[in-house]
Structure 1
Amino acid sequence: MQKMLLNGQKAVMLKDGSLGVLGEEWLRQYAGMVKHSRVNGDQLQVPRWLAMSLDATDDNALQLTQVLPEQWWQQWTQWQRQEDALYALPQTLQVQALRPYQQKGYEWLRLLAEAGGSGCLADDMGLGKTLQTIAFLAHRFEQDSTARFLVVCPASLMYNWQQELEKFAPVLRSIAYHGAQRKADWITDEQYQVLITSYGTLRQDIEQFAAVTFNTVVVDESHYIKNPVAQITRAITQLQAPFRIALSGTPVMNGTVDLYAQLNFLLPGMLGSKEFFRREYAYPIEQQKDEEKAAALQKMIAPFILRRTKEQVAADLPEKTESILWCHMGHDQRMAYESLKDEIRGSVLLEIEQKGLQAGKLSVLAGLTKLRQLCNSPVLVKDANLFCEDSIKTDVLMEELKQIIPQHKALVFSQFTGMLDVLEQALMQHRIVFSRIDGSTPAQKRQELVNVFQSTDTDASVMLISLKAGNAGLNLTAADYVFLVDPWWNAAVENQAIDRTHRIGQTQPVFAYRMICKHTVEEKILQLKDRKKKLAESLITTEDGLMQELSIEDVAFLFQ
């Protein structure tokens, strides 16, 4: 009978050779359950979470509510009604309160876990999916002090996860399992509660990971596993954990099939085989525009995907949210960086030793500039045989832009016009429509470009802007995202750039991201800014300001 239903048939061959026709009422009551259950001999094994997909208001629908406690249903109903908070935050969470929608996300994860399900938190970029998840992990750890968690994410996000964990849940000790220095022992080392790894590393070491049962597995940027036959998707599905979380601002990028692999990881078997899903849902929805199938799929998956857009929760958001977007260099760019850094460090420190810090200030500035350029892209560093064109910042930026476009517009600032050239090529390759303002743009043309960007009649979703040309005077409130590709370490200058969009006339909350390469001079300057308040106000603003604040020890630290 299950095979018959999966093949779209409505009649079954009986033992006497006659056909038994299944009526619409029977199909409405039982078909969904039969299709999505597991046949075990003469029994159907119905997943407990399937009860959540049934319409409790439909008198004709078969109810499975008894498989979940009545108290759970009461809490689920209360949560859906947007009533007061259901659960207190974990005591170990270092935050006074979550924003209302974040509290709802935390509670949703807890309710799913209690029901034996899993879920995809699909909030817009910048709404705090990481914090909501950390709150849930802290709760799980309070329940079970032996619990261990795995976070799988793009390499560029690993250290962001580590910093957020240290900030909000220091009780959860984490380690980044990545790179040539990683040790297999870390996977089973119980002194680390949270293991953070990249998709690539997980694929390479899947046998070791699959041998461990984690309390919870978190897959960040889960659209990375949208291809059901990809190696990384097959690796992810081998992981063992009773609860799984997928995080993605764009769970569906190209079509309905994108959902299949992600939900199959969260709730194995929920959507049947890949062929069944294509035939039952993807083809009718995308090719035949079958609204009934779309509604059926939406009803089934709705409890397990929570998505809030920036517009929906705007009342809960501050006017401006500033964050660091960590970028983790690939092998070739890292080797180029270390080679250049060693070369610069030797010449700069030797010059300072021979001539003094004041006399060597130009060399320090030149060296810092070259390293900052290399953090952007090695092609910006002239007269250096680096043999590398990789740009992690370009890759990360393209991924971020694809998540917010076309629903939102973004401003992208760089101090270096050469970097704008690199980004221009990348935007064209990704078919993202953009405009550009730099020092060579005539004043009249600038205003024309601004007017077009501000209008609703343009396809341009991104404005590339050089620091000197566009850090003041331009009104670009059509954008609500700002990316500072190479932060220039001066708060006033950075704020001028952000205020191109965060100004009178802006009706949406603004999200600003500073792109910083991990383990580089960029991160070291951030550390110096924390140590020296005056440095934060003067560094790289003028040569004199820089030299007045930097000691020989600081220079050695920057180039170490």
Structure 2
Amino acid sequence: VRSRPPRLWGLESPSHWPEFMSEHLPALRAAGWQVEMPVDFRHLVVDVDSWEAEIGEDAGGWFNLDMGIVVDGLRLPLAPLLYDLFRNDARWLDTAQLNKLPDQAPVILTTPTGIRLRVQAGRIKPLALTLIDLFDAPPGHGPLRLSRLDAPRLARLAEMRRWRFAGVEAVAKLAHSLQHGAGIQPVAPPAGFALTLRPYQLEGLAWLQYLREHGLAGILADDMGLGKTAQTLAHLLLEKEAGRLDRPCLVVLPTSLIFNWKREAERFAPGLKVLSLHGKERAERFAAIPEHDVILTTYPLLWRDEALLAKQEYHLLILDEAQTVKNAASKAAQAVRRLSTRHRLCLTGTPLENHLGELWAQFDFLLPGFLGEAKGFTKTWRTPIEKHGNGVRRDLLAARVRPFILRRRKEDVAKELPAKTLIVRTVELQGGQRDLYEAVRSAMDEKIREAIADKGFARSHIVILDALLKLRQVCCDPRLVKLAGAAKVKERAKLDQLMDMLPELVDEGRRVLVFSQFTSMLALIEEELLARKLSYVKLTGDTQDREGVIRRFQDEGVPIFLISLKAGGVGLNLTAADTVIHYDPWWNPAVENQATDRAHRIGQKKKVFVYKLVVAGSIEEKIIALQDKKAELAAGVLSEDAGALSKFGEADIRALLAPLPMGKG
């Protein structure tokens, strides 16, 4: 303290005020000094006397969280103070920075009247990590509202020390059950089930029973090939044997899975009466719905037949390959939301393929309102996570959805599954094919740049996708490209590579699946197989006798199966195969993995070899690099070890359209 005019003293620097107010001022008061100051004195910092919270439950099944602090005997709502703090200090949005912030670090909260409150960071960190999404808009002075399905995060708050919590009993039991699976008791498989379930499948059955018992819904998201259909059939049969199946169950699935569901129900659960509503003659079968246990329909037919299906109330509504309804605005997605059912279930090996909106669409069907409306979800979760890499939001979203997703990986639960070996076969474009690639690339690069300059990146997607398509077609075979000069190109590097491989593989006794996204490419491969007199079968969206084609490959020894990725990438059980060839890669690794899992699944007794045919230096190599980025987005929400999140933007486009490296012409 330095001298001022008589009877007036001051501090050497304004920076000394916090120390003076927190340490010396209390000492002066203790010594008998009378201290007076205006309530708006800018250096006045007040300590909080106590922290209070009360949890209540309203009639709609929502929890109300009322948080407050007591200062000099006056209770103040805490939520508005936290809103200002979180909005103005970016540290509270970053998990890494929060973890580095000491619990004892001082934090200043400012009341609407200007009073500055001194609190420790440790008081607020749990609130940021569990409730940050509730502060996107000014919360007002009323309680915060949370879904009953958010009981686990309320329970975590109730565990905070030095808080006085009231009403926590309302959430503790539900939270414990949701978060830890408490109360999930082992169940015996149904007596009439003709398949011995593995231990992890019995756990899946118990989980499905638990969801039904507690009126919850969820996603069975096991890896492809781990038997989601079998677990679900066991669940349905158990419901019937227990006398709970007083209404039919409706299963909505891709057309390609109709045969598989019927066959597995006949083999494993013959006690279930299954009705397939597929084909032109289906109209006369609707009257028989009440007489059956399981009704099968497809996504394309669902909205067309909605009026007839809606006449029946269902015990359980199941979406198989539920990522099919990732577009919540599609007719099928809207139709499933309007059907009346007691329980809901999603089956998918890839609950998140491209973006978080797909996960929202599935939860909006399963647990309406849990993740809010689509617009609010984008603002609260998608944009912060996908565009800004917000780790706090990512971890919180993962924690919220985790109780409702059961996901097991092959390597974790099916150790007996033979090893899968991935081999990338790289080929170089030569001569006219290389020239064609460069000509198309250069022209499309210029076209895209003009489109982006004119309309912006977001409105140039059609031009971009057309460019990527043409370059991929050149890599596959010049004849796929609808350009006058393309038909004259004689070089077909990748097709030559494939036709070098197939005769040798067949001679070795291998059974081969060849996947392509282009049915026109499969037709060109078919011509080569006919010329070489190699036996094969083919499955595309135009195939009428799917069952016959599958039987010829599985049971009659045909060595080569040509499959379009869209028609046969999911739902087929092709364990006779021991070799998978991806003729053309795609940016979404989940799609390729699903196709590979037609062979690499439970029931496979041989080692599986997976070949990717890739043109060196081309768009295809860049696509494989992008696959890792897409996988990270899924991992960030579906697994506990969240990786970095990334997005697809202009820099990726520039990389995809880079020239071929110098090589032989």
Q: What secondary structure does 1:312 align onto?
A: helix
Pairing partner for 2:237 from 138, 151, 165: 138
CA distance in 2, matches of 1:213, 1:64: 37
Q: Does 1:157 align with 2:257?
A: yes
Deviations 1:196-252 (A, max 9, x none): 000111111222323432111110011111112122111111122221111111111
CA distance in 1, matches of 2:115, 2:238: 51
Q: What is residue 537 of structure 1 aligned with on the other side? A: none
Pairing partner for 1:203 from 303, 307, 317: 303
Please state how far the C-alpha of 1:129 moved relative to its aligned partner: 0.5
Paired residue type of 2:319:
V
Pairing partner for 2:279 from 157, 174, 179: 179
Q: What secondary structure does 1:242 align onto?
A: strand
Q: What is residue 122 of structure 1 aligned with on the other side? A: 221
Please state how far the C-alpha of 1:156 moved relative to its aligned partner: 1.3
TM-score by length of 2: 0.45
Q: Does 1:105 align with 2:204?
A: yes
Deviations 1:357-385 (A, max 9, x none): xxxxxxxxxxxxxxxxxxxxxxxxxxxxx
Change (3 A) 1:46 1:71: closer
Pairing partner for 1:273 from 373, 383, 386: 373
TM-score by length of 1: 0.53
Paired residue type of 1:273:
E
Matches within 5 A, 1:345-364: none
Please state how far the C-alpha of 1:128 moved relative to its aligned partner: 0.4
CA distance in 2, matches of 1:195, 1:221: 16
CA distance in 1, matches of 2:172, 2:191: 26
CA distance in 2, matches of 1:442, 1:513: 17
Please state how far the C-alpha of 1:437 moved relative to its aligned partner: 4.8
Q: What is residue 487 of structure 1 aligned with on the other side? A: 553
Q: What is residue 507 of structure 1 aligned with on the other side? A: none
Q: What is residue 310 of structure 1 aligned with on the other side? A: 410
CA distance in 1, matches of 2:533, 2:153: 54
Q: What is residue 642 of structure 2 aligned with on the other side? A: none
- Tell me which structure has the larger Cα radius of gyration: 2
Aligned residue-pair number: 365
Q: What is residue 324 of structure 2 aligned with on the other side? A: 224
Q: What is residue 656 of structure 2 aligned with on the other side? A: none
CA distance in 2, matches of 1:110, 1:123: 17
Q: What is residue 248 of structure 1 aligned with on the other side? A: 348
CA distance in 1, matches of 2:557, 2:505: 29
Please state how far the C-alpha of 1:162 moved relative to its aligned partner: 1.5
Q: Would you say the 8 A contact 1:121–1:248 is kept in 2?
A: yes
CA distance in 1, matches of 2:322, 2:116: 42
Alpha-carbon RMSD across the aligned residues, in angstroms, is 5.3
CA distance in 2, matches of 1:171, 1:271: 38
Please state how far the C-alpha of 1:169 moved relative to its aligned partner: 1.5
Change (3 A) 1:489 1:300: closer
Paired residue type of 2:299:
Y
Please state how far the C-alpha of 1:147 moved relative to its aligned partner: 3.0
Please state how far the C-alpha of 1:50 moved relative to its aligned partner: 3.2
Matches within 5 A, 1:293-308: 293-308=393-408
Q: Would you say the 8 A contact 1:68–1:115 is kept in 2?
A: no
Q: What secondary structure does 1:171 align onto?
A: coil
Q: What secondary structure does 2:319 align onto?
A: strand
CA distance in 2, matches of 1:59, 1:152: 42
Q: What secondary structure does 1:170 align onto?
A: coil
CA distance in 2, matches of 1:434, 1:91: 52
Change (3 A) 1:499 1:120: closer
CA distance in 2, matches of 1:485, 1:77: 44
Q: Would you say the 8 A contact 1:148–1:192 is kept in 2?
A: yes
Please state how far the C-alpha of 1:300 moved relative to its aligned partner: 0.4
Matches within 5 A, 1:332-343: none
Please state how far the C-alpha of 1:191 moved relative to its aligned partner: 1.3
CA distance in 2, matches of 1:88, 1:296: 35
Please state how far the C-alpha of 1:180 moved relative to its aligned partner: 2.0
Deviations 1:36-84 (A, max 9, x none): 9xxxxx999865433356555961398988568969957974669xx9x
CA distance in 1, matches of 2:494, 2:217: 38
CA distance in 2, matches of 1:229, 1:193: 30
Change (3 A) 1:439 1:136: same
Q: Which runs of 5+ in 2 are unaligned?
A: 1-63, 66-77, 86-111, 118-122, 137-141, 421-472, 482-492, 507-521, 536-548, 561-573, 581-595, 601-665
Pairing partner for 2:189 from 89, 92, 111: 89
CA distance in 1, matches of 2:419, 2:501: 29
Please state how far the C-alpha of 1:434 moved relative to its aligned partner: 7.9
Please state how far the C-alpha of 1:185 moved relative to its aligned partner: 6.1
Moved more, 280-289 or 235-244: 235-244
CA distance in 1, matches of 2:373, 2:502: 58
CA distance in 2, matches of 1:33, 1:281: 8
Q: Would you say the 8 A contact 2:477–2:495 is kept in 1?
A: no
Please state how far the C-alpha of 1:512 moved relative to its aligned partner: 5.3
Please state how far the C-alpha of 1:309 moved relative to its aligned partner: 1.8
Please state how far the C-alpha of 1:10 moved relative to its aligned partner: 5.3
Please state how far the C-alpha of 1:27 moved relative to its aligned partner: 4.9
Paired residue type of 1:117:
L
CA distance in 2, matches of 1:27, 1:216: 37
Deviations 1:74-116 (A, max 9, x none): 7974669xx9x71111223222x31121112111112222222
Paired residue type of 1:108:
W
